[in-house]
């Protein structure tokens, strides 16, 4: 890996990482089937990945980390007969955990328009939010982007993971809470490991089917909606039904119970007015032992209901990184290690309760003290991290808490001038 930071900053950052590992080696996660896992590292003083490492004993892994002080540490979601073999075919694949990755970068959060920036390097035109594929002014694809992760981003990623667990993995796929290993990645989101023996042998194609289900890929709304009429009534979907039909029915019931202007934007003024006027009758019909959607259809019409349901599907589906889930040889961050782009630890969370309480805050950092830094790139003036203002032009000098300073230096947005503990 090629580093943009100067030698002084790199050495200071490595020294801080070394101090962390000396004091916190007991925080390094030891996965099941430890001796059958491949480990990989990116080091401060070498480019590329040092991988295809296997350790017979936990102490060997700990000694490697202490001696080499990695900037990034990974282990395989797969288990192998010979994890140290450099040829993937020679490793002897035995199975792989089912893993989900939810990253704030993949979520369409409004806060991106507050902190993300882009600039055309050809003509200088710039804007806020996610970068376009090409410059709207000159058409160049030479776009420089500045991305950030804030408390709102992490909150959105957290809620997406909770939705994945509570809407899909437990009720639909039958996993238990005890099967779940929930991990904060140390940067932009969360990893979820399904530690279930039955999942180990799933093929990439089978894992893709799971991804398609939670992301609603290939879901045809028209085939899910009831069309059968009996004596003029339209038989609806039971609110307790499992799968996508039940999810859609419950969300419609929720929206009809508390109608708001967002529905008007979807179905139009006339249909929205009818929906509000008939809401009590719709709720009563949907709640019956044999649920009916007769009044719902009459209020919205077939097209209006279809539009509403498609919007509901977009709300319910989960944005997971499909490449991570379908990969049966994936390397993933080692919990307890430090993330080399933030200086924050990769943290295992104790169940859904701890996940719900999780926040991006300075207490996550194991480092204490203050530091003087100099910005090496322009940072938007409105940006804050851990409650501190970090924006400024290139060359601006700032005095910050050590966790904030490390975060900026690790992201190669600043250089250390002095550290005070």
101 is catalytic: yes
314 is catalytic: no
Alpha-carbon distance of 204 to 223, in angstroms, equals 27
Residue carrying structure tokens 């250390």: 416
Q: Where are the alpha helices (DSSP H) in 216-293?
A: 221-224, 243-257, 261-267, 269-277, 279-287
CA pair distance 272, 282, nearest whole angstrom: 13
Residue 60 structure tokens: 């060997």
Whether 87 sits among the annotated catalytic residues: the reply is: no
Q: Which of 103, 116, 179, 327 is catalytic?
A: 103
Gap between the Cα atoms of 285 and 294, Å rounded = 8
What distance in Å separates the CA atoms of residue 332 and residue 260, rounded to the nearest whole number?
Answer: 42
Alpha helices in 183-242, H assignment, sequence order: 204-215, 221-224
Q: Which listed residue (87, 101, 133, 198) is catalytic?
A: 101
Beta strands in 159-299 (DSSP E): 180-184, 189-194, 229-230, 233-234
Nearest to 93 by CA among 6, 194, 169, 202: 202
Residue of 116, 179, 321, 327 marked catalytic: 321
Task: Look up tokens 């089917």; give the residue.
Answer: 209
Catalytic residues, which ones?
101, 103, 321
């Amino acid at each position: 890996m090629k580093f943009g930071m100067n030698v002084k900053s790199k050495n200071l950052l490595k020294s801080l990482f070394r101090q962390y590992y000396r004091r916190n080696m007991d925080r390094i996660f030891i996965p099941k089937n430890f001796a059958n896992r491949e480990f990989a590292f990116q080091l401060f003083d070498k480019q590329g990945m040092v991988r295809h490492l296997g350790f017979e004993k936990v102490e060997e892994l700990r000694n490697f980390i202490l001696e080499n002080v990695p900037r990034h540490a990974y282990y395989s979601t797969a288990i192998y007969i010979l994890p140290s073999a450099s040829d993937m075919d020679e490793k002897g694949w035995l199975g792989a955990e089912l893993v989900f990755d939810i990253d704030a970068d993949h979520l369409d959060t409004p806060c991106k328009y507050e902190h993300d920036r882009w600039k055309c390097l050809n003509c200088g035109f710039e804007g806020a939010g996610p970068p376009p594929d090409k410059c709207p002014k000159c058409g160049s694809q030479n776009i420089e982007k500045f991305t950030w992760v804030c408390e709102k981003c992490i909150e959105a990623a957290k809620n997406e993971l909770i939705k994945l667990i509570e809407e899909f993995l437990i009720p639909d796929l039958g996993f238990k809470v005890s099967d779940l290993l929930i991990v904060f990645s140390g940067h932009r989101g969360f990893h979820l490991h399904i530690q279930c023996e039955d999942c180990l042998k799933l093929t990439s194609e089978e894992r893709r089917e799971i991804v398609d289900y939670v992301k609603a890929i290939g879901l045809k709304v028209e085939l899910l909606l009831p069309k059968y009429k009996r004596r003029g009534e339209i038989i609806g979907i039971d609110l307790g039904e499992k799968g996508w039909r039940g999810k859609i029915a419950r969300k419609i019931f929720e929206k009809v119970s508390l109608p708001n202007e967002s529905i008007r934007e979807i179905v139009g003024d006339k249909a929205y007015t009818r929906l509000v006027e008939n809401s009590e009758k719709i709720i009563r019909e949907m709640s019956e032992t044999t649920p009916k959607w007769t009044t719902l259809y009459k209020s919205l019409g077939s097209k209006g209901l279809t539009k509403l349901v498609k919007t509901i599907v977009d709300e319910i589906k989960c944005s997971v990184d499909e490449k991570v889930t379908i990969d049966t040889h994936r390397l993933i961050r080692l919990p307890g290690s430090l993330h080399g782009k933030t200086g924050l630890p990769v943290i295992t969370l104790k169940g859904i309760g701890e996940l719900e309480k999780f926040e991006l805050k300075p207490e996550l950092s194991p480092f204490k003290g203050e530091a003087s830094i100099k910005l090496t790139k322009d940072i938007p003036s409105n940006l804050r991290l851990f409650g501190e203002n970090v924006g400024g032009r290139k060359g601006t000098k700032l005095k910050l808490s050590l966790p904030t300073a490390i975060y900026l230096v690790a992201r190669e947005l600043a250089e250390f001038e002095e550290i005070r503990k």
